[in-house]
Structure 1
Amino acid sequence: MPTYDLITILGPTASGKTPFAAALAHRLHTEIISADSRQVYRHMDLGTGKDLDDYTVDGHPVPYHLIDIAEPGEKYNLFAYQRDFLAAYHDIRRRGLRPILCGGTGMYLESILKGYRLLPVPENPELRARLAGKSLDELTQILRQYKTLHNVTDLDTPKRAIRAIEIEDYHAHTPVDQRPFPPLSSLIIGIDIDRDTRRRKISRRLQQRLDSGMVDEVRRLLDRGIPPEDLIYYGLEYKYLTLYATGQISYDTMYTQLETAIHQFAKRQMTWFRGMERRGFTIHWLDAALPTEEKISRVLSMLTPD
């Protein structure tokens, strides 16, 4: 059996991956590196489902990294994530610990596990000027010329689609960065939740977050001066809640469309993870319904001591 550099816990939204990762980290006396593209933002708590209480196990806090590290409105990206992951990873390893990577953002996870070599992509004013005024359908067709569209969140708004085209155009005309990225061996654990249970949990969590003030959270972000289009850029909760908070849709429309969008997002997450398996990753799936102790026991049986 191999000796692993890290453990990866992945799964769709509402699968219970975070409380399980925290329980495992507590058992192994280690720390968690988040792989969530929106939980990096401060003040965006309910909308991103941070559930920071999950990081306390039996009264003991489990250290976590790459949550609350960017300001709302900032366009945090994959290059920044890879950079920040490496800083956190090396910090944890220097202290003799094996980190746990946990999250549901497939591109972030795969960029680490596959060791992509990335370049920061600057803005291209000339390209943006050429694309300005094009419809979302037109931008979608342009983006399809560069790649197969796995990540449809690129297509939420024309602004996101233009940025996606900008990135793809840059990579098409720029040599791959040769900076070293350490090859990392990871035990990959997937939390498998059946579709009906996942749907029930998503709907229940959405109502709980709305009852806890998720709309007010968006209003506070708007009051801080963050443009509505910047919040809409983040998609899902922030897209629909911002449309509601700015009077563009009704509460009932917001709720119905948001609930549907989250269900679709969870389905896309599972599609990405199955795609990872086809691309050569071995994911050991554990039934979400298993007791936490049994899941921990199964993971421990797959590990070899450092």
Structure 2
Amino acid sequence: MEPYELITLLGPTASGKTPFAAALAARLDTEIISADSRQIYRSMDIGTGKDLADYVVNGKQIPYHLIDIHPPGYKYNLFEYQHDFFAAYQDIKSRGKLPVLCGGTGMYIEAVLKGYKLLDVPQNPPLRESLKQKSLEELEVILASYKVLHNKTDVDSAQRAIRAIEIEEYYRTKAPDVNEYDPLHSLIIGVDIDRELRRKKITRRLHARLEEGMVEEVKSILETGVQPEDLIYYGLEYKYLTQYIIGELTYDDMVSQLEIAIHQFAKRQMTWFRGMERRGHTIHWIDATLPTEDKIEITIKLLNNTY
């Protein structure tokens, strides 16, 4: 069997991917490429769970890529991610290292593993106008009507749903061939966390982040001139905290609705990963509760085809 070109660590939110990836990268003397659709934004730190301290292992800074590369308010997309990923990937490979891809945005991960040829989809003003009065639930129904589905794991705001529909409508008539980039032969490790443990960690982490100043973080971004609708676009923490700050939600309603939304998001992530398996990806699931050293040893054995 040909050697692996990449190690991919994936899993739902709160599964402990980042410290595992950093420890593995330290052991292998390599670098990490993020596959998180929100961590690419600067200043959006607490809400996206960057936890940059996790990238320091035994006093050594583990190099990471595709974090903090655009300002808040920017509308990043899959087309850009794929090109940014391969630039980082080739950079790491040029130094003789085996890159580690780590994150929970399934569409980003699958796009680079399969090397999809993607199109830079322009805005469609007439389509946006026809959709702007529809609710998120109505937009999700429309999105589900397309045979080729956009990544729904991140679609939890009307703006994002409209953009997803816009993409699918464009691809309906201009669908590209696959493989602009070559597919990558990757060892894929999934961090398997029990549903109830995941729920407990999500709840505990949400309250910890609120205590760390997540509300103040969102306020400070808004004070720089970023429009509320542009933060709401990002969904989850930035959607609900912005709605609280501008007076659309009470604090208690914000916390309650956000907690439910994060649980739903984690469930959608797992649905995507299971779909990846059905689409031919082999994911080796490792128990999230194992000690980090055990996870690393299992990964290295899989890497060497001895597990």
Q: How does 1:240-259 map to 2 (within 5 A)?
A: 240-259=240-259
Partner of 1:158: 158
Partner of 1:286: 286
Q: How does 1:1-306 map to 2 (within 5 A)?
A: 1-147=1-147, 151-152=151-152, 155-176=155-176, 180-304=180-304
Per-residue CA deviation, residues 81-122 of structure 1 (Å, 9 max, x unaligned), is 001000000000011111000000011111111211101001
After TM superposition, give the deviation of residue 234 of structure 1 in Å: 0.5
Cα 1:74–1:184 change in 2 (3 A) is same
After TM superposition, give the deviation of residue 196 of structure 1 in Å: 1.7
CA distance in 2, matches of 1:81, 1:241: 26
Per-residue CA deviation, residues 201-220 of structure 1 (Å, 9 max, x unaligned), is 11111111111100000000
The farther-off stretch of 86-95 and 156-165 is 156-165
CA distance in 2, matches of 1:276, 1:153: 13
Contact conserved, 2:115 with 2:179, CA < 8 A, in 1?
no
CA distance in 2, matches of 1:175, 1:68: 31
Counterpart residue identity of residue 200, structure 1: K
The farther-off stretch of 65-74 and 254-263 is 254-263
Per-residue CA deviation, residues 19-52 of structure 1 (Å, 9 max, x unaligned), is 0000000000000000000000000000000000
Contact conserved, 1:153 with 1:235, CA < 8 A, in 2?
no
Counterpart residue identity of residue 283, structure 2: I
After TM superposition, give the deviation of residue 161 of structure 1 in Å: 2.3
Moved over 6 A (4+): none
Structural RMSD (CA): 1.8
Counterpart residue identity of residue 130, structure 2: R
Cα 1:279–1:258 change in 2 (3 A) is same
Counterpart residue identity of residue 260, structure 2: T
Cα 1:194–1:150 change in 2 (3 A) is farther
CA distance in 2, matches of 1:131, 1:266: 27
Per-residue CA deviation, residues 180-221 of structure 1 (Å, 9 max, x unaligned), is 302210000011111121111111111111111000000001
Q: SS of 1:130's equivalent?
A: helix
Count of equivalent residues: 305
CA distance in 2, matches of 1:299, 1:153: 26
Q: SS of 1:300's equivalent?
A: helix
The farther-off stretch of 273-282 and 171-180 is 171-180
Per-residue CA deviation, residues 223-246 of structure 1 (Å, 9 max, x unaligned), is 011111111110110111111111
Cα 1:29–1:242 change in 2 (3 A) is same
CA distance in 1, matches of 2:243, 2:122: 29
Counterpart residue identity of residue 4, structure 1: Y
Identity %: 67
Structure 2: state its 5+ residue gaps. Answer: none
Structure 1: state its 5+ residue gaps. Answer: none
Cα 1:263–1:129 change in 2 (3 A) is closer
Contact conserved, 2:78 with 2:108, CA < 8 A, in 1?
yes
Contact conserved, 1:32 with 1:102, CA < 8 A, in 2?
yes
CA distance in 2, matches of 1:117, 1:222: 36
Counterpart residue identity of residue 105, structure 1: T
Q: TM-score, normalised by structure 2?
A: 0.94
Counterpart residue identity of residue 193, structure 1: I
The farther-off stretch of 140-149 and 258-267 is 140-149
Cα 1:158–1:261 change in 2 (3 A) is closer
Q: TM-score, normalised by structure 1?
A: 0.94
